[in-house]
Amino acid sequence: MDESRKSYEHFSAFERSILTGSVLDIGAGRDPVVSHAVGFDQEQGDANTITTHVHQLFDCVYSSHCLEHMQDPSKALANWWQLVKPDGYLFFIVPDEDLYEQGVFPSRFNGDHKFTFTLAKKRSWSPVSVNVWDLARSLPHSEIVSLALNDIGYDHRLQKHGQVRSSQIPRFILRQFASLKKRGWDLLPRACQFYLEKACLIDQTRDGGLAQIEVILRKNSR
């Protein structure tokens, strides 16, 4: 499922309001957060050094699940921040390392993730963990408007931590029933699905769950 579209369904009225002006969507792909957003992806250049490709300012610079792919999140975010107008907003979303990676790096669900992210904890199991609170505070003239963990649709009973061995049989059964479900045949009782999932390593975001940190920063004009 497209991440921005999935997240937008749960945005507050305020979150939607800051996306009504001019918007730059970094890493938009085929899923821009709003239809009028200017999309920036690999076809347009390198988001690590976006200021060499984009030379205008925006009311809101938005990015969903892109920062974890950058070579240096701090430097990349500093470049993104330069494209925000005074009194404008930077709105970015990253996966939470405990809900998504679940104690394993490199990520078993996305091998291109170069960093993991935590909201504000002092110690992390990850060798490449980025504290989002510190990251947000590092930007000049920034005001943290919102910094929150979004786990809507995430079943914490299925969460695991660290390397876990699981049988291939439950995973095979789940794949077969998932294929049938896409064709309109929902034949697996929810209770059976739950116990099969308990035996597997699950990326719940593939089924619509959210496992992410959402940050909104405002650029003070003074």
Predicted TM-score (pTM) of the model is 0.86
Instruction: Tell me the C-alpha to C-alpha distance, in Å, between residue 180 and each of 5, 105, 156, 165, 203.
Output: 25, 32, 26, 26, 19
The residue whose two tokens read 């809507």 is: 152
Q: What does the pLDDT read at residue 89?
A: 98
Rounded Cα distance between 64 and 3, Å, is 7
- Domains in the chain: boundaries: 3-155+204-219, 165-198
Q: What does the pLDDT read at residue 83?
A: 98
Rounded Cα distance between 113 and 134, Å, is 20
Q: What does the pLDDT read at residue 158?
A: 84
The pairing of beta strand 23-26 with beta strand 38-40? parallel
Q: What does the pLDDT read at residue 103?
A: 93
What is 3-155+204-219's CATH topology? Rossmann fold (3.40.50)
The pairing of beta strand 129-131 with beta strand 142-150? unpaired
User: 14-20 contacts: CB < 8 A, separation 24 or more?
Assistant: 15/91, 15/146, 15/216, 18/59, 18/60, 18/89, 18/91, 18/216, 19/60, 19/62, 19/91
Q: What does the pLDDT read at residue 63?
A: 98
The residue whose two tokens read 């099969």 is: 196
pLDDT tens sequence for the chain (222 residues): 578 999 999 999 999 999 999 999 999 998 999 999 999 999 999 999 999 999 999 999 999 999 999 999 999 999 999 999 999 999 999 999 999 999 999 998 999 999 999 999 989 999 999 999 999 999 999 999 999 999 999 999 888 888 665 556 556 666 666 677 777 877 667 666 654 565 567 888 988 899 999 999 999 987
